[in-house]
Chain A
Amino acid sequence: MKRASAAALACALLALAAGGAPAQERGIALDQLKSGSAFLSQDLRALQGDELANPAMLWVERGEKLWREPGGKSAKSCASCHQDASIGMRGVAARYPQIDAASGKLLNLEGRINQCRVERQSAEPLRYESEELLSLTAFVTHQSFGVPVGVSIEGPARAHFDAGRTLYYQRRGQMNLSCAQCHEANWGKRLLAETISQGHPNAYPAYRLEWQTTGSLQRRIRACLSGIRAEMLPYGAPEYLDLELFLAWRAQGLPVEAPGVRR
């Protein structure tokens, strides 16, 4: 017993000496990850997989048109620089959120699209949940369909990751619940008629029957916050960005399923 604990202590010290932090503890082990679609009814699973009938594909189709439309004063379209999205954008969404090398800021896909619009197209940034931004994010994320989620939490991203993780495990709202209490401790169990999922972001933007429209991951986070009677922060809040990074790390390896269909 004493020898085992001494060995463990030695390992930890070694890791610290090597400059790395102690190994990340995952609330749900990588081989236990299940996408949200595993918790859907047969009907919704089939609807998500139906290329024609998946309602979110209407936004993907619109996004494809917007991709080729010139924007802002530049008269350049996304295609002007990025050409064929099915090639240029493949795998991109799976690596977001990520640190923007130039500004050092953490950007999600919406942030990156708006940065491109403002800096390279001389266009106005698009509002969260606007038809245009939803269409573009749905289209771009869909180009990563099947690609495993894989984000970096190294370097400057580390601070955002730690902040996101703290948010995830913090109780909040009138119901005094943290994300972990439903999605880590009680996934697979019932909440009224619904089965609690593990809360992964890999199918967003998604068409939610409750919204009767497509929405972003931030909208889904806000929905959860209102559900536990916590304050919904405004769209684009840095807390959401940090949480998005943590959620992406937590979903590492899950294939991108966007655009998803959810309740």
Chain B
Amino acid sequence: MSGASRALGRRRFLAAMAGSIALPAVFPRRVLAQATIENPIAPLDQLDPLVWVVTKGAPVRKGRVQLELPQLAENGNSVPMKVSVDSPMTAKEHVRGIHLFSERNPVRNMASFYLGPRAGRAEVVSRVRLAGSQHVVAIAELSDGSFWAGSAAVVVTLSACLDES
């Protein structure tokens, strides 16, 4: 192998290495896990006891739930959150509850909102605390006993300057 091609090969190798080690520094590998048909609440697990308390083992399907959080949060202390579920909200067909889970907060069940047919619209807006970049998952329980999930990934930046005031 000539010197030039060896250098090119080495450069490609280094570039590949840089690509695979740089990304997890910003996004840990598990955060790259996208919600799939097999596990619609990824990176959470359907066998997670916190999830089980809500679903009692019933299957969770992906869809009908829109969870909106900014892609980039200026401060993890207060991040705007909107969760809405596609539902007519009638006595026959409505959302019973929406449960919010955090991937990395010390307290992973963030909140549970209980609606019902008198809500009129299955939508709740609030502001949440996020302890670092992570996924947030919302699981909705419908009146027919089915469970649906939506998730959002948020990058939480740290303050530029330390504040000890």
Contact = CB atoms under 8 A, between A and B. Distances in A.
Q: Do A and B share a direct contact in the complex (Cβ within 8 angstroms)?
A: yes
Interface of A: 40-41, 43-44, 47, 191-194, 209-212, 215, 219-220, 222-224, 226-228, 232, 263
Given A222-B165, A226-B163, A209 B158 contact: no
Contacts of B162: 226-227
Nearest to B164: A226
B74 interface: yes
Leading 4 A-B pairs by shortest Cβ distance: A227-B161, A193-B157, A209-B75, A226-B164
B159 interface: yes
Main secondary structure of the interface of A (DSSP, over half): mixed
Contacts of A227: 160-163
Contacts of B74: 40-41, 43-44, 193-194, 209, 263
A226 B163 CA distance: 6
Contact of B161 (A43, A47, A219, A224): A224
Interface in B120-165: 157-165
A263 B165 CA distance: 14
B29 to A, nearest CB: 22
B7 to A, nearest CB: 35
Contacts of B158: 192-193
A263 B80 contact: no
Contacts of A194: 74, 157, 159-160
Nearest to B77: A209
A194 B158 CA distance: 9
B157 to A, nearest CB: 4
B160 to A, nearest CB: 4
